[in-house]
Structure 1
Amino acid sequence: MVEIKTPEQIAKMREAGLVVAAIHAATREAAVPGATTNDLDQVARKVLAEHEAKPNFLGYGGFPATICTSVNEVVVHGIPDEKTVLKDGDIISIDCGAIIDGWHGDAAYTAFVGTGHAPELIELSRVTEESMWAGIAAMKKGGRLADVSKAIEGYIRRQPRPASGKYGIIEDYGGHGIGSEMHMDPHLLNYVDRRRLIGRHNPKLVPGFCLAIEPMVSLGTARTEVLEDDWTVITTDGTWSSHWEHSVALTEEGLLVLTAPDGGKAKLAEYGITAAPDPSA
């Protein structure tokens, strides 16, 4: 069953989303050569404490940290530690969340460490981020969940191929419902699976529907494997990957990107969409 939120509940999710945005800003500034991934985790913990918010990653299924720090070929769920030192030229995807009064926010971004990154890495991140926004723009009243999947996949497939030969849309992980829990129904694929176009796998989008939309794309394979820590997910061919995510609410007035500082106003305008009024304004 999909949890449909009231305007008051969405307002709480917006509060949580703004804490997530603050974590993104702080960790982006701290993701420099010489920093450890644990340094970034400590930065996130400080932001959560300043906002009197709870982490939703710490302890989730036994996860031992506040954020996920996924470097280079790590797709998702990288565990912060003191051994992983960021180097010039690395890319890192940081995924984090926050809870305010029981309501969740969740978002991720890819950052470039230092300088001198190959153009195909910069383009990889751009394609992944823009595919996320294409998916967000497809989240319309009366539409279906698969419309979001189709928009994400379609955007990626239309891009010129990278020097590596192809973009791999990660198959084993995707977006999800969010609200009173971090991960809820429905599961959102980042590609179209025709077997999931009917029934409960493809619900109608109605006001109060909230999704965490999160494409993950590699410079090669779509396949992954999990390391011995039972968390860290890497590409099977060692190609580097990018991960972008926002939590989004469909309201009676339209779309509100809960984890974007401006509620998604600027990016949605590029699609001719007026963002819903921001309850935090």
Structure 2
Amino acid sequence: MSRDRIELRTADEVARIRDACLIVHDVLEAVSGVVAPGVTTGELDALAADLTERRGARPAFKGYHGYPAVICISINDEVVHGIPSPGRRLAAGDVVGLDFGVVYKGWFGDSAVTVPVGGISTAARRLLDATRAALGAGIEAATAGGRVGDIGAAVQGLVEARGYSVVRDFVGHGIGRRLHELPQVPNFGAARSGPRLRPGMILAIEPMVNAGGPDVRVLGDGWTAVTVDGSLSAHFEHTVAITEDGPEILTRPS
């Protein structure tokens, strides 16, 4: 396998990636289900670790370039890569991004959701709805014969039409034998640009959307990215297979 080419997976390989992706789905569902005021992010991380081990998988993020936790937990103005802590408690009204991946029998899966903590503001709810819709638009554009740029153009068009901005510092990616493979999948750009989408490509499509401007900065921990203007951010992600019959979401039960 070359690190500088886009891999096309066989049907058997896609099935193996789907196995990893369904573990990701199940763990995220369980972690999302215990999000509540007063719960610590460290408790969520411990739950994700336990459930991953029970399924015979390994966390994809822990140790990756030195990342210290099993799951990324990003709250409110944190965009991505927030580090869980036993001393940080969720509060009613927060929005919490949960980004999680596993490696199972040598294959990777990756997904993210942003969930409310109790009741949230109308503005926060609209941001989550828009980001979820942007992911749907990006996936719908991921058709064989198209281009990677079609995905970003679809995401950006929906997001900006609703008055939000797309983060440019972080992008989606190919995935398979490694967590990050080619091609990069930006959430912005021009349609009909970039690599051709071909059956067998596996993409992690992951819009990161800010209520304010697109600029982010990384905190002193070297990981947590926050919005420069302090605005709320949301993040949704699926691992998707390109097929002759259209995009297939692997991180969701069929």
Whether these two folds match at TM > 0.5 is yes
Instruction: Give the % identical residues.
Output: 40
Question: Which of residues 160, 177, 183 is equivalent to 1:186?
Answer: 183
Residue 73 (str. 1) matches residue 77 (str. 2): yes
Aligned to 1:114: 118
Aligned match of 1:175: 172
User: How far off is 1:252 after superposition?
Assistant: 3.5
Deviations 1:82-137 (A, max 9, x none): 1211001111000000111111100000000012x111100100100110010001
The alpha carbon displacement at 1:20 in A equals 0.5
In 2, Cα distance between equivalents of 1:252 and 1:15:
21
Q: What is the deviation of 1:261?
A: 2.4
* Letter aligned with residue 55 of structure 1: P
Find the aligned partners of 2:190 and 2:157 in 1 and give their Cα distance. 13
| Counterpart secondary structure, 1:95 | strand
Determine helix, strand or coil for the equivalent of 2:12: helix
Match of 1:84 among 61, 83, 88: 88
Tell me the distance in 2 between the aligned counterparts of 1:101 and 1:253. Answer: 27
Separation in 1, partners of 2:51, 2:26: 7
Tell whether the 8 Å contact from 2:238 to 2:249 is kept in structure 1 after alignment.
yes
Deviation at 1:46, TM superposition (A): 1.5
Q: For 1:16-165, what aligned pairs fall within 5 Å after superposition?
A: 16-115=20-119, 117-159=120-162, 161=163
Over 4 Å off, 4+ runs? none
Deviations 1:29-63 (A, max 9, x none): 11111111010001111211121011100100000
**8 A contact 2:150–2:190 mirrored in 1:** no
Give yes or no for contact 2:153–2:190 (8 Å, CA) kept in 1.
Answer: no
Q: Secondary structure at the match of 1:254?
A: coil
Residue 206 of structure 2 is aligned to residue 206 of structure 1? no
Q: Check whether the contact 2:36–2:117 (CA below 8 A) recurs between aligned residues.
A: yes
- Give the unaligned 5+ runs of structure 1: 162-166, 263-281
Instruction: Give the gaps of 5 or more residues in structure 2.
Output: none
Distance 1:188 1:171 in 2: 11
**Which range moves more in the overlay, 206-215 or 150-159?**
150-159
Root-mean-square deviation (CA, aligned residues, Å) is 1.3
What SS does the aligned partner of 2:247 have?
strand
Q: CA deviation at 1:158?
A: 2.5
